[in-house]
Amino acid sequence: MTIFRQAKWNEPIVYEISRDSKEGVLLDEEFRDYALRFLSKLPKHIIRDSLNIPSLSEVEVVRHFTRLSQMSYGVDLGPVPLGSCTMKYNPKICEELASDRRIVEAHPYLDEEDVQGLLEILYTLQKWLAEIVGMDVCSLQTPAGAAGELAGALMIKKYHRDLGEGHRDEMIVPDSAHGSNPASAAMAGFKVVRIPTDPRGNTDIEALRAALSKRTAGVMLTNPNTLGLFEEYIVDIAREVHGIGGLLYYDGANLNGILGYARPGDMGFDVAHLNLHKTFAAPHGGGGPGAGAICAKGALADYLPVPLVEYDGRKYYFKYDVPRTIGRISWFYGNIIPAIKSFLYIATLGPLVKEVAEVANLNTNYMLKKLSALPGVDLVYGYGRWRKHEFVISFEKLYKETGVGAEDVAKALLDRGFHAPTILFPLIVPEAHMIEVTETESRENIDNLINAYKEIINIAYTNPSEIKRCPQNTSVKRLDTVYGNLPKNIALTYRSLKGKTA
């Protein structure tokens, strides 16, 4: 069963096919004269004698990048079931409209009067996002999800300092939270306190109660968590945290599972970041960049990063006078183009946005039901519970019985034309596959992925060495994961170029 057959060749890098005699562009004499006059005015010590730029003809450049594209896999070719990443198909109407030259060529220093249309879109998106998560105010100034996490942690820190409670230097992070939460809390200057997960897949509320103290600044939660399970005690958690003067931070990486049905603000969260590239289908990863809106309610809204986009009844403008703002997280106003794509996505769906969560949850639980019945597959947490947008299975039993582990199964999926899911995460699940098929995948695609898992598991029990050799159908074969060795041709190329490319 194959969805996409990757090209087997290993395309050389441009430096290997470069020849000094080749040129891809010819500069006219007028431009050459202008460039030389410009260079003559520069100090000699900043002018390089030569540039290490590869020399290729136009057709070689086109063919090189076309061949590279044939070696790549993305959401336009098939499912990318990366748990916690929400890699869904990106509607092309959003891509087309956001590529309008009036948007992509807008300079960040343009006067507000010249970008009223853009500001109106951003203002409206702020309002929509605040409503979706149940918060009072939203800022699009944070350029990525991780930046949103950091902003939220910094807001909590400044809030406590302004209250004269700078001694609150601990941030509680459950071990089922999104993976970057501990790093964001640490970057904000907090000591990270880890809380375990109970057998049903919830944050262990008794352990949380024991960890809460006068030093607690807040708790960072992902809900649904990385197991794909909704926190059953979220209202109790909010009450306990607020009861000792702490704040509750919501990581929006998994909002796809509850979109339109539950709002973090109603659960008791004080601040939330949203990964617009995940939930609202702006391109993710290599197709990015992403965008990380941050929303807050109550007193914490006064700490949002600036500028916000406001409307005074006559014009839209950047608002900088947020009373206790943490300032800027990025120099300019976040990532406007993915924000516009998210605006278009929400505007296109309208009230049907709730179906995002409905179909994502249906797809998830359908696939989980099929996979959990296979030999060698186990669930570690939340037996009998419905998942939301993603689920985690363990191949520990398969590994013990055949020697084939989670990484081997993932590599075998590559050979069958599928993108592998997130593996070996979350760390609380041994030999984990963290799978999220999203609402944009059809039942046929999901069945194909299920059948690939069945085939791999069957071979693991009959001829495990075959799976241990995967992948064989990709341009780069199996790497040495113990030492992280690169394939020989890449390693040699790297060593030959090291120190030559500035």
Q: What is the residue type of 19?
A: R
Tell me what the pLDDT averaged over the chain comes to. 91
Residue range 377-436, pLDDT digits in tens: 999 999 999 999 999 999 999 999 999 999 999 999 999 999 999 999 999 999 999 999
Residue range 169-202, pLDDT digits in tens: 999 999 988 889 999 999 999 999 999 999 999 9
Tell me the angle at which helices 443-462 and 354-371 cross, rounded to the nearest 10 degrees.
20
Which residue from 405, 408, 399, 414 is spatially nearest to 468, judged by alpha carbons?
408
Instruction: Give the angle subtended at the CA of 64 by the CAs of 59 and 69, to the nearest 5°.
Output: 125
CB atoms within 10 A of CB 113: 10
Helix, strand, coil % over all residues of the chain, rounded to 5: 45, 10, 45
Q: Is residue 74 part of a domain?
A: no
Residue 200 sits in a domain whose CATH number is 3.40.640.10
Considering the entire predicted model, what is its pTM?
0.87
Q: Is residue 4 part of a domain?
A: no
pLDDT for the residue 2: 63
**pLDDT class of 288 with cuts at 50, 70, 90:** low
**pLDDT class of 495 with cuts at 50, 70, 90:** very low
pLDDT for the residue 482: 65
Residue range 193-246, pLDDT digits in tens: 999 999 999 999 999 999 999 999 999 999 999 999 999 999 999 999 999 999
Q: Is residue 143 part of a domain?
A: yes
CA distance 499 to 502: 7
pLDDT for the residue 39: 84
5 three-state secondary structure: coil
Where do the H-state alpha helices sit in 252-353?
Answer: 264-267, 276-279, 336-349
Between 58 and 238, residue with greater pLDDT? 238
Which residue from 267, 272, 262, 259 is spatially nearest to 342, judged by alpha carbons?
259
Residue range 289-314, pLDDT digits in tens: 788 999 999 999 999 999 999 999 99
**Measuring CA to CA, how many Å separate 274 from each of 135, 217, 253, 388?**
12, 21, 6, 17
**pLDDT class of 499 with cuts at 50, 70, 90:** very low
**pLDDT class of 123 with cuts at 50, 70, 90:** very high
pLDDT for the residue 3: 67
Whether the CA torsion 154, 159, 163, 165 is positive or negative: it is negative
| Residue 481 in this model has a pLDDT that exceeds 80 | no
Whether the bond into 81 is cis, omega within 30 of 0 = no
Contact in structure between 293 and 140 (CB atoms under 8 Å): yes
CA distance 82 to 438: 10
CA distance 264 to 270: 8
464 exposed, middle or buried (CB, 10 Å; 0-12, 13-18, 19+)?
A: middle
Q: Is residue 261 part of a domain?
A: yes
Contact in structure between 269 and 246 (CB atoms under 8 Å): no
CA distance 42 to 57: 30
| Residue 490 in this model has a pLDDT that exceeds 60 | no
Q: Is residue 432 part of a domain?
A: no
DSSP track, 410-474: HHHHHHTT----EES-STTSTTEEEE---TTS-HHHHHHHHHHHHHHHHHHHH-HHHHHT---SS
CA distance 392 to 387: 9
358 exposed, middle or buried (CB, 10 Å; 0-12, 13-18, 19+)?
A: middle
CA distance 330 to 345: 24
Q: Is residue 456 part of a domain?
A: no
Q: Is residue 280 part of a domain?
A: yes
Name the CA dihedral angle for 418, 421, 423, 428, rounded to a multiple of 10 degrees: -150
Residue range 439-459, pLDDT digits in tens: 999 999 999 999 999 999 999
**Pair of tokens at residue 387:** 């998942």
Of 17-31, 118-132, 238-252, 485-499, give the lowest mean pLDDT range: 485-499
Residue range 317-334, pLDDT digits in tens: 999 999 999 999 988 888
Contact in structure between 309 and 126 (CB atoms under 8 Å): yes
**Pair of tokens at residue 370:** 């099929």
pLDDT for the residue 192: 97
Report how many helices (DSSP H) and strands (DSSP E) the chain contains, helices first. Answer: 19, 12
| Residue 502 in this model has a pLDDT that exceeds 70 | no
| Residue 90 in this model has a pLDDT that exceeds 60 | yes
Q: What is the residue type of 48?
A: R
Residues contacting residue 371 through CB under 8 Å, at least 6 positions apart? 377, 393, 435, 450, 453
Q: How many domains does the chain have?
A: 1
pLDDT for the residue 285: 66
**Measuring CA to CA, how many Å separate 406 from each of 24, 60, 377, 396, 420?**
46, 40, 10, 8, 10
Residues contacting residue 89 through CB under 8 Å, at least 6 positions apart? 75, 76, 281, 438, 440
Q: Is residue 113 part of a domain?
A: yes
Q: Which domain holds residue 256?
A: 96-351
**pLDDT class of 287 with cuts at 50, 70, 90:** low
